[in-house]
Structure 1
């Protein structure tokens, strides 16, 4: 796709930076590197992890998103995978991204949370701030959710 506001090289660099940011997101969650997780989110990021029948309040702000992940996911073993993303640059500093995903989350026996294997898509907006791409808005839409 040709963009009038960026050179071909700038487009490729943006795509690669966006992909790397999302890959880092998955790794930092799975490795429980909470102090670094905030580095993938814009300061005023918003996360929407509601599912049908399970409304969850929007998480607003990088620090809140990281805190909720840490509190909820820390006791679990997790594997997050994202696959080839569709990336549409809206401007030199904004992109819409759709990424197929799969996650496998197991909580310790006796936990109040269900262990599961899920599949779906992330619908996201990324923004570039001072040349670095960050997740501005993320919404996870699950297609399948298997309790394990």
Structure 2
């Protein structure tokens, strides 16, 4: 990793800001705070969760991403956890981030969606816009998905 463009303190602050953005992403989904969730994404963000068997297509734009999340998981009880992200700063305003994740999503019996418990990795690009780190591109690669 080449981070010669940041001082030690700037590097640590960038790491912490990126981790906090991802933490808020999880919390806002789990607490159904859809307006706040918009703030973790760049306006032109892309979300690609289009793995086999997943009903979510590639999503373009912060509003689209949040609206689809809301439509899909608002009726569910969700628990999202991310752990020990690997962060590679490629410039003072861009970072590649790999975060191990676990999610537990349970829908009411009346909902046609299946409840599940999953494990995998978020592969993401974060960018710094207006002094804040936000998600520019996110994709989820699952290692395991248990249908409940």
Q: What is the TM-score with the length of structure 1 in the denominator?
A: 0.96
For 2:9, the equivalent position in structure 1 comes to 9
Between the aligned partners of 2:147 and 2:55, the Cα distance in structure 1 is 18
2:22 aligns to what SS in structure 1?
A: helix
Change (3 A) 1:33 1:53: closer
Residue 70 of structure 1: aligned partner: 70
| TM-score normalised by structure 2 residue count | 0.96
Aligned to 1:100: 100
Q: Deviations over 1:80-139 (max 9, x none)?
A: 000000000000000000000000000000211000000000000000012100000000
Give the secondary-structure state (helix, strand or coil) at the position aligned to 2:39.
Answer: helix
SS at match of 1:18: helix
Describe the SS at the equivalent of 1:108: coil
Indicate the RMSD between aligned Cα atoms, in angstroms.
1.2
State the partner residue of 2:52: 52
CA distance in 2, matches of 1:53, 1:63: 24
**Does residue 21 of structure 2 align to residue 21 of structure 1?**
yes
Correspondence 1:34 to 2:29: no
**Are residues 83 and 96 of structure 1, via their aligned partners in 2, closer, same or farther at CA, if it must alter by over 3 Å?**
same
Q: Which runs of 4+ in 1 moved over 2 A?
A: 52-57
* Map of 1:88 onto structure 2: 88
| Structure 1: tracts of 5 or more residues without a match | none
Q: Distance in 1 between matches of 2:51 and 2:111?
A: 20
Aligned length: 148
1:125 paired residue number: 125
